[in-house]
Structure 1
Amino acid sequence: MSINYIAALLFSLFSILCSFGQDNLDIKEIYIDNGLVYKVSNNTRFTGVAQKVRKNGHVVFEDFYNDGVILHSINYFNSRNKEPAAKTIYHKNFVPKQTVKYLSNEKGAWQELTHYDENGLKILEETKRDGIITYSCEFLNGKKHGKEYCFEEDGTKLTFYYRRGKKIKQ
């Protein structure tokens, strides 16, 4: 076989593979309509990766889509080496009852719990340190509704009340 024939074969194979690749777009180049994600440029369902990239080139997060449906999302630490901070996997027909985030810093570790109703709407948000609830807030239709309490750094308990997202004056 001649070198030109092999080069032409490799070039055409590479071109075919690249044509089937997924798009890699900025998050500003897509939009959501009725729970599906579309490209702004041609209004077609998006398949590929949507990224949020800072001016310095650091990738903040990536969302992976197939035919307009989100598959998973990766959030990254603020570093050059794209070290994942959190990965969320989405299931098409799954409505979570509770999500738990495990977080830590130099002051210690804590958990953030979010409870949902059967429609997937947030109904309660809590933060726990060493098994003790340090923050709690009730929700109705996605808005604060009911009692919210937390603690100041000196240990003083604060309690606030909300009705349909508006704070009630006491």
Structure 2
Amino acid sequence: MEYEDGVILKQYVYYRRKKNNRKLATKVLYDPQKPWKEVTEIRYFSSFEEWTFYDENGNRTLKEQRKNGEIIYSCEYSGRKKHGQEMCLDDDGAKMFIEYVNGKRKK
């Protein structure tokens, strides 16, 4: 964990491995003005990273998956429900966009 003046800024979680060969699993960034309020959570997988962003009330607003720095998936949320635009890649690597309203796919 990283602190500044007694306020948590970042938290690191590692996969359980040998002490000298640890691999980062999750990094959580906190709001320095509101201790213990998550701003961003980054989860590390073998082939991509998953970024989750939160608003000031702790509700999820956006989830992204990134591979080699490029966004391969993105979805806007309103709390627990998809609300807004979802972007993903099809089999050919072209971007597809889907609209959601209160968790339901817009036709």
TM-score strictly above 0.5: yes
Find the aligned partners of 2:77 and 2:95 in 1 and give their Cα distance.
20
Matched with 1:113 is: 51
1:118 aligned counterpart, secondary structure? coil
Q: Relative contact order (alpha carbons < 8 A, sep ≥ 6): 1 or 2 greater?
A: 2
Are positions 1:164 and 2:102 aligned together? yes
The partner residue of 2:61 within 123, 127, 133 is 123
Matched with 2:39 is: 97
TM-score, normalised to structure 2's length?
Answer: 0.66
Matched with 1:82 is: none
Find the aligned partners of 1:140 and 1:96 in 2 and give their Cα distance.
16
Structure having the higher strand fraction is 2
Gapped regions of structure 1 (runs ≥ 5): 1-72, 77-84
Identical aligned residues as a percent: 37
Alpha carbons of structure 1 residues 87 and 111: separation in structure 2 relative to 1, 3 Å: closer
Runs of 4+ in structure 1 off by over 2 angstroms are 73-76, 85-89
Matched with 1:145 is: 83
Bigger Rg, structure 1 or 2: 1
| Amino acid of the structure 2 residue aligned with 1:114 | T
1:147 aligned counterpart, secondary structure? strand
Find the aligned partners of 2:26 and 2:66 in 1 and give their Cα distance.
21
TM-score, normalised to structure 1's length?
Answer: 0.43
Find the aligned partners of 1:129 and 1:87 in 2 and give their Cα distance.
16
The alignment covers a number of residue pairs equal to: 83
Deviation of residue 75 (structure 1)? 8.1
Find the aligned partners of 2:67 and 2:45 in 1 and give their Cα distance.
10
